[in-house]
Structure 1
Amino acid sequence: MIFKPAVDHGVKLLLSFSGAFLLSVTIFEFLPEVYASQSEHIGIFIMAGLLVQIILEFGSKGAEHGHVHHKDNAKFPWLLFVSLCFHALIEGFPIAENQSLLYGVVVHKIPIAVIISVFLLHSKLTRLQCALFLVVFAMMTPLGAFAKAYFPTLQTYSASVNAFVVGVLLHVSTTILFESSKNHQFNASKLGVILLGIIIAYFI
């Protein structure tokens, strides 16, 4: 337990970096690509994605951006599980056709996976339940990419689907940035990793 504060600080820095990186990739690469499609109602689908993500967080309690509250409960957290899996599935839709976004989602998933793993291991769930949770959750984003590549309906409405994902990513990434600091204050180290995330995203 003596190492817990250092681990927490490191994870929070990584979370800040991932939020800045994902937001920057979305704005620099993905958002212009979505608007370049010149499809009608792009803005509506972006807002729809943002609203759906807000609804999902009623079930996940903000786990997508690092908020997981430890509870001594032996029941499997189905609402958290379904919400996180649906979120991960949505994120996977455009990554097969956008390499930069793939990097952004991968970087975003690393601290989230760490936080969720710690939450599960501190719960009263069995190791098998924890493993199944993490394995299925890990499969959702690749499954989303597969679905987008092989389901004709998703391909037909690709611009609308991508705009929807933009809304989801904008909400998650901005929430990470605003909530990753205590009392919403940025210290020098967090400001540094945020700037690093933005710069790396710009040059990839």
Structure 2
Amino acid sequence: MIIILLILSVLIGVFLGKFFGDREKFAKNLLIVSAGFLITICLNEVFPEVYSGEHHNIGLWVIGGVLLQMLLENLTKGFEHGHFHDHSEGKNILPVALMVGLFIHAFLEGIPLANEDVILSPYLTGILVHNIPISFILGAFLVKNKKFSASAFLIISIFALASPLGLLLGKYFNPNLEVYFLALVGGIFLHISSVIIFESNKNHNVDWKKIGFVTLGVLLAMTSHLFHNH
């Protein structure tokens, strides 16, 4: 069931991107809501779990996740943050680089789900909410004349299967290592959500609309948190 949800979240985002990809503001707003959701999940769920045990140098894994995401952005050119307006012309990003960067990102997210037995746990919900706007941008980027090429289908398939593959491979790892992968992904989430939320406006004015969307994401995450705890 978890694998199905992971694949569905990508497909929903891709097809939204196919039909509404020209609405850049809509994509940006989706990203901002997901960033508010993601950072709340990190602070309320991921980090408390990561730091609850006496794991040796666990904080270094969180920092490692932040640094890894910075490296991956050399491949994706900020796709995760909504920096896609110039990519559609193919000048700043190669499909292979995009595919590799997104695959590694999504693959690592799937590993901590290896022993997850709760449907729609806060961590899983965070991934699903995070997948939709990224897949929206991916769909908007890959569609040409309202159609997907064979290479576009390949990239979408690879991205959709990345997290499920991480989940399946994670079942062969020592369960004691799971918390380290969770810390790594927590660092990735923290970096992505922080960049989206704190990205400066042109005139550095207070953006009440952005604050509203971030708050909406926080409230949705808190609702998921409360639902999970009950």
Q: TM-score, normalised by structure 2?
A: 0.77
TM-aligned CA deviation for residue 5 of structure 1: 9.4
Q: Who is 1:200 aligned against? A: 220
TM-aligned CA deviation for residue 117 of structure 1: 1.2
Letter matched to residue 93 of structure 1 = I
Change in Cα spacing, 1:156 to 1:138, as seen in structure 2 (3 Å) is same
Unaligned runs of 5+ in 2: 1-18, 225-230
- State how 1:1-204 maps to structure 2 within 5 Å: 7-68=23-84, 69-72=87-90, 77-95=95-113, 97=116, 99-122=121-144, 127-148=149-170, 150-153=171-174, 155-179=175-199, 187-204=207-224
Letter matched to residue 101 of structure 2 = S
Change in Cα spacing, 1:12 to 1:20, as seen in structure 2 (3 Å) is same
1-structure distance, mates of 2:142, 2:201 = 23
Q: Contact conserved, 1:16 with 1:180, CA < 8 A, in 2?
A: no
TM-aligned CA deviation for residue 122 of structure 1: 4.5
Letter matched to residue 220 of structure 2 = I
Q: Which moved more, 1:125-134 or 1:136-145?
A: 125-134
Question: CA deviation digits over 1:46-79, x for unaligned, max 9?
Answer: 1111111111111111112222222247x96211
Letter matched to residue 120 of structure 1 = L
Q: Contact conserved, 2:27 with 2:82, CA < 8 A, in 1?
A: no
Q: Contact conserved, 1:17 with 1:194, CA < 8 A, in 2?
A: yes
TM-aligned CA deviation for residue 138 of structure 1: 0.8
Q: Which moved more, 1:4-13 or 1:105-114?
A: 4-13
Q: Contact conserved, 1:70 with 1:122, CA < 8 A, in 2?
A: no
Between Structure 1 and Structure 2, how many residues are aligned? 198
2-structure distance, mates of 1:80, 1:108 = 17
TM-aligned CA deviation for residue 90 of structure 1: 0.9
1-structure distance, mates of 2:99, 2:21 = 27
Q: Contact conserved, 1:63 with 1:112, CA < 8 A, in 2?
A: yes
1-structure distance, mates of 2:197, 2:40 = 12
SS state at 1:152 partner = coil
Q: Who is 2:16 aligned against? A: none
Q: Contact conserved, 1:13 with 1:189, CA < 8 A, in 2?
A: no
2-structure distance, mates of 1:5, 1:114 = 7
TM-aligned CA deviation for residue 87 of structure 1: 0.5
Change in Cα spacing, 1:109 to 1:5, as seen in structure 2 (3 Å) is closer
Question: CA deviation digits over 1:78-109, x for unaligned, max 9?
Answer: 11110110011111122353710111111111
Unaligned runs of 5+ in 1: none
Letter matched to residue 13 of structure 1 = N
